[in-house]
Amino acid sequence: MTVTIEDTRTRFDDGRRIVLDENERLLNSVAAEQWDRAGALITSARAVFVIGNGRSGLAVQMAAMRLMHLGLRVHVAGEVTAPAVGSGDVLIAVSGSGTTASVVGAADTARKVGASVVAVTTAAESPLAQRADEILVLPAADKQDHSAAITAQYAGSLFEQSVLLAFDALFQALWAHADQTAERLWERHANIG
């Protein structure tokens, strides 16, 4: 089978349309007031910790970087330089299913020492959500849902994309009220490594 440039462009256009349309629909359906409350919790914390596995973990690490740019103390759980979580801290715990053992365990530890937990999940009744002070539901399909009823994308892609985009939207909102220039944020950007 020979594939022409026009065939590839048409396929890419179809894929792009699916990704953009699904993310727009999802982000327009989230409860903005919950994200506002989470933003207040995050910005008032002594330190912010993030945890997630796989692609969800990568997405929340990108969110951590943006929060660091705002001047917050931010740590990626599990990294060798991350200190102990404690009272006055907040843990942003990301799991599409809300059942990822390491993420739920981190939420248990955080609560035990007096830290707040912000759960980001598709499942409002999940074990992770039950441990949270604030639940941010992103209504994407669970990665084992192959029905295509919610998304045509593969294995949790919509959830992972929406984690990144929702946190970028939260960053924009927080930055707008932070009275910090882009130049000030850039001073915090990594300059080695």
DSSP assignment of 54-81 equals HHHHHHHHHHHHHHHHTT--EEETTSTT
pLDDT in tens, 15-33: 999 999 999 999 999 999 9
Are the C-beta atoms of 63 and 76 separated by less than 8 Å?
no
CATH of the structural domain 29-179, one choice from 3.40.50.10490, 3.90.45.10, 3.40.50.10440, 3.30.300.20:
3.40.50.10490
pLDDT in tens, 118-169: 999 999 999 999 999 999 999 998 777 778 788 999 889 999 999 999 999 9
Predicted pLDDT at 3: 67
| 95-114 mean pLDDT | 98
> What does DSSP say about strands 74-76 and 48-52: parallel, antiparallel, or unpaired?
parallel
Supply the mean pLDDT for the chain.
93
Domain ranges, ordered by start, for the chain: 29-179
| 82-95 mean pLDDT | 98
Residue 6 in this model has a pLDDT that exceeds 80: no
Residue 8 in this model has a pLDDT that exceeds 90: no
> Would you name the residues annotated as active-site residues?
160
Predicted pLDDT at 74: 98
| 73-95 mean pLDDT | 97
How far apart CA 178 and CA 187 sit, in angstroms, is: 15
